Structures are given as structure tokens and as C-alpha cells.
């Protein structure tokens, strides 16, 4: 008895899903051109979006390798614009250390720029992508700064020697 109720309920539910025209019945008993097969318009699927809020924990549903790759692609260097004339518009890779002067405790580094001119720089003087940090008797320490779109500033130490070690 229970078995028959389940099948009868299933068949009744299936009959409700069929349109009235599919069973060959119309409201007037006759088929007319107006009652020809109608287009069925499907309702859009509504997805109840649940978002994982992890707080400070990593999201267990995301692949960390893909997330890291996307972050690296998004984290690009900010364009610096057009460089000004002179040593302030030259990159640290474009300048060449030609000499060091030490006079009365003041150290001055002599650089040759990409324009073949000599420039005299002291500690703290700026280049286009960095600045002079320290000047020693035979080398100069330059700091190269790279500003990223994410807001991070990457620093790189570059040592220019008078003589190759």
C-alpha cells in the first residue's frame, strides 16, 4: 500500500510538470492556431551566494599557487614618467663610478653619466630610480627603489667599485 502511494504521488507530480497542451487537452476541447505549442520561458537560476570570510586565515577553497601567480601579475612597477635632464634623470645602471674625492671629511663620488658628462655626487643625492647611500674610499653604495602598484617599495643595494674586485 505504501509502495502504491509513493508511485501515485510521483506520477501526479510528473503530470503537473507537463503543460496542458502536451496531454492533447485544451481549454475548449479543440486545437486552434492560437493554442499551438508555446515557447517555454525558463526562469533565471537564482544562486544564493555564500562568501567565505576567512578573517586572517588563508582561504582553504583557493589554490595558493594560482592566487600567488595572479598577485605577481597584478603587482607591476609604477611607470616613473619622463626623466628630468641631468643626473637626476639617469638610472643607477646607466652611471659609472669614475673616482672618489675625500677632502676635509667630505666624500664626493665622481660619476660618468650616459650623456658622457661627469657628475659630482655626495651622500643622499638622488638619481632617477634611487639615491647615493654611502661613499667609501674605493666604492659607492647606491639604493635602487622600485615602487609597485600594490604600494610596496622594493629596495635593492647596488655597489659600484672603482676597480673590479
Indicate whether 135 belongs to any domain.
yes
| pTM greater than 0.75 (yes/no) | no
**Average of per-residue pLDDT across 59-69:** 73
Q: By the 8 A CB rule, do 111 and 117 touch? A: no
Task: Name the residue with higher pLDDT: 3 or 46.
Answer: 46
**Average of per-residue pLDDT across 102-108:** 92
Burial bucket for residue 165 (CB in 10 Å: 0-12, 13-18, 19+)? exposed
70 φ/ψ angles, rounded to the nearest 5 degrees: -65, -40
Domain total in the chain: 1
> Rounded CA gap, 26 and 31, in Å?
7
> Rounded CA gap, 113 and 117, in Å?
6
Indicate whether 9 belongs to any domain.
no
Give per-residue pLDDT as tens, 138-159.
999 999 999 888 788 899 999 9
> Rounded CA gap, 124 and 160, in Å?
16
Quick one: pLDDT at residue 151? 83
Indicate whether 133 belongs to any domain.
yes
**Average of per-residue pLDDT across 49-61:** 72
Q: By the 8 A CB rule, do 117 and 140 touch? A: no
Indicate whether 149 belongs to any domain.
yes
Give per-residue pLDDT as tens, 112-131.
999 999 999 999 999 999 99
Indicate whether 123 belongs to any domain.
yes
Asked whether residue 40 carries a pLDDT value surpassing 80, the answer given is no
Indicate whether 138 belongs to any domain.
yes
Indicate whether 46 belongs to any domain.
no
For residue 34, name the pLDDT band (cuts at 50, 70, 90).
low
Indicate whether 122 belongs to any domain.
yes
Cell of 70: 595572479
Which residue range(s) make up the domain with 128? 87-161
The CATH number assigned to the domain holding 155 equals 2.30.30.830
Amino acid at each position: 500500500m505504501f509502495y502504491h502511494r509513493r508511485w501515485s504521488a510521483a506520477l501526479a507530480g510528473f503530470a503537473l510538470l507537463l503543460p496542458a497542451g502536451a496531454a492533447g487537452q485544451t481549454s475548449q476541447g479543440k486545437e486552434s492556431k492560437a493554442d499551438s505549442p508555446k515557447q517555454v520561458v525558463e526562469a533565471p537560476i537564482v544562486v544564493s551566494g555564500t562568501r567565505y570570510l576567512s578573517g586572517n586565515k588563508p582561504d582553504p577553497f583557493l589554490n595558493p599557487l594560482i592566487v600567488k601567480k595572479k598577485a605577481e601579475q597584478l603587482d607591476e612597477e609604477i611607470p616613473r614618467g619622463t626623466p628630468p635632464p641631468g643626473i637626476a634623470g639617469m638610472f643607477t645602471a646607466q652611471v659609472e663610478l669614475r673616482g672618489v674625492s675625500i677632502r676635509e671629511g667630505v666624500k664626493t663620488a665622481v660619476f660618468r653619466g650616459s650623456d658622457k658628462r661627469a657628475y659630482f655626487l655626495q651622500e643622499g643625492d638622488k638619481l632617477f630610480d634611487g639615491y647615493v647611500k654611502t661613499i667609501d674610499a674605493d666604492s659607492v653604495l647606491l639604493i635602487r627603489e622600485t615602487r609597485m602598484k600594490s604600494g610596496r617599495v622594493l629596495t635593492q643595494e647596488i655597489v659600484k667599485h672603482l676597480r673590479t674586485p
